[in-house]
Amino acid sequence: MSNIEEIKKRRTFAIISHPDAGKTTLTEKLLLFGGAIQTAGAVKSNKIKKTATSDFMEIEKQRGISVATSVMTFEYRDLLINILDTPGHKDFAEDTYRTLTAVDSVILVIDCVKGVEEQTERLMEVCRMRNTPVIVFVNKLDREGQNPFELLDELETKLGIRVRPLTWPINMGADFKGVYSLFEQKLYFFKINKTKIESNVVEIDLGDDRLEELVGLKDAVQLTEDVELVEGVYDQFSKEAYEKGELAPVFFGSAINNFGIKELLDTFCEISPLPQPRATDVREVEPTEKKFSGFIFKIHANLDPRHRDRIAFLRICSGKFERRTFYHHVRLNKDVRFASPFTFMASDKSVLDEGFPGDVVGLYDTGNFKIGDTLTEGENFNFAGIPSFSPEIFKELINLDPMKSKQLEKGIQQLTDEGVAQLFNLDLGNRKVVGTVGELQFDVIQYRLEHEYGAKCRWVPMNVTRACWLTADEKSAMDEFIRLKGNQIAFDKDRNPVFFAESDWMIRMNRENNPKIHFHFTSEFKTEVAL
């Protein structure tokens, strides 16, 4: 099979949501429909077993960061579908942001009771940065939720994207009877008979006399009126607009009851994009190019201190990846090869002989990789950076054992390379500041520094609420700003200047007083979403 035929088979996407919206359940049911797992619960049970017993390690287990569930691959309708797992919890949002750079589309899960939540909005900001195509799945229709039209208005208002329902619910909660597919003009019935869930499908036009017999007069009238309103208010579905990230098709269902999943999966197979071109600092790379290229979007380290293997996740962007072949590590300017790269088919990890654009490959790493690193077949370019958002919590790292300074330095560099947190350096006093989006990461870092690197530390909270990356029209303007604001200027790991602000008011004031300085809320300036 040629490279182009292999590319046409690939679909790589992530499932994202606010915590508890049903992401894990939906992931599991997609795998069930795809035949990748046989029983519900397989995703949750397939975790790496950790030997440590501290509280935060238990939280890490619950988080589900196992290598086996980071990427799940299955075949469905002659397609090879890669699902990238993303943590839902806010404390691990950075993992999700990075994962979104490696997919070609996403499915966004919304709880019909709670609607659009804070984390959902932040995730959509990342999708809009790259105009990532989005499908919305409104979940938990078996519960009493918000009015569907109010939900759609909320989606458009808070997420900044036009929506188009492709299915429509018949009631919610105890009266939920199923959904009508506007895409296929089919009625999908839902009925709980004692403990058994029954469902069947009828191809029917809304003008058909059988509709009243099937759902009752009241619901038949309501469904007809709702669909007429949908057709009159919302744009017709356009695959082109969806692929540009301008229009999000919306599906309704109940993942826990297996309802609405097959319709979602079948439509996804029809409309979802193939592996897409990727921007670099030199040119755009097409997936159909003959020469291999790819980038590292995630690094996972086993938290068991007896097994310090690190696994780097590589998204293939072009050409063909082959085992035991030398590839060029652009940042290090050296050639590397991999004896045992691997991929996942459902729960089984297997050695990979070759991979194609869209595939995600696991590479055993001895410390050569940082997130964002590029591998090529010789050409020197770097794929567009993986954005870092401003952390929400900032603490200074204090060394408790001066005799272990080298171990501490090595440890904090490697841990932040993995994306556990962001590291900033204050040149005044040579101080190190760690920024995270949640308190949990500080416990994780402190534990790992002690048990993996033999270095002890403590944290001192800082009065900082936002970090802004800085650029300037003129070097002299930047030099002067750094001189005047020296005690508020830090540098990230790439020596980009960063302004530590105590409040949003301070940012506004400094923006007004320094028009030649540009304040950015992510580290990826060219595609940043305005905040």
SS (H, E, C) 244-266: CCCEEEEEECEHHHCECHHHHHH
> What sections of 354-488 are H helices per DSSP?
405-417, 440-453, 475-484
- Give which of 124, 83, 76, 84 is closest to 270, Cα–Cα: 76
Whether the per-residue pLDDT at 58 is higher than 70: the answer is no
Mean pLDDT, residues 187-213: 72
- Could you tell me the CATH superfamily of domain 3-49+57-271? P-loop containing nucleotide triphosphate hydrolases (3.40.50.300)
**All CATH 3.40.50.300 domain ranges in the chain, comma separated:** 3-49+57-271, 278-376
Span 109-127, mean pLDDT? 88
Q: Tokens representing 529?
A: 């979403």
CATH of span 393-520: 3.30.70.3280
Residue-level pLDDT at 324? 94
CATH fourth-level superfamily of 278-376: P-loop containing nucleotide triphosphate hydrolases (3.40.50.300)
Average pLDDT over residues 231-240: 93
pLDDT of residue 66: 37
The pLDDT tens digits of the residues spanning 4-25 come to: 999 999 999 999 888 788 888 8
Task: Please report the pLDDT score of residue 89 as a whole number.
Answer: 57
Which tokens in the block code for residue 68?
A: 């086996």
Tell me the residue length of the chain: 531
Average pLDDT over every residue of 408-421: 86
**pLDDT at residue 154 tops 70:** yes
DSSP string, 175-242: G--EEEETTTTEEEE-EEETTEEE--EEE--TT-THHHHHH-HHHHHHHHHHHHHHHHHSPPP-HHHH
DSSP state of 286: P
Q: For residue 166, which amino acid is it?
A: L
The Cα-based distances of 113 to 144, 192, 248, 258 in angstroms read 7, 20, 20, 18
pLDDT band at 385 (very low <50, low <70, confident <90, very high): low
pLDDT tier at 125, thresholds 50, 70, 90: confident
Residue 286 clears pLDDT 70, i.e. is over it: yes
85's tokens: 């797992």
What does the pLDDT average to over 41-58? 40
pLDDT higher than threshold 50 for residue 69: no
Given this model, what pLDDT does residue 38 score? 53
Which ranges in the chain are annotated with CATH 3.30.70.3280? 393-520
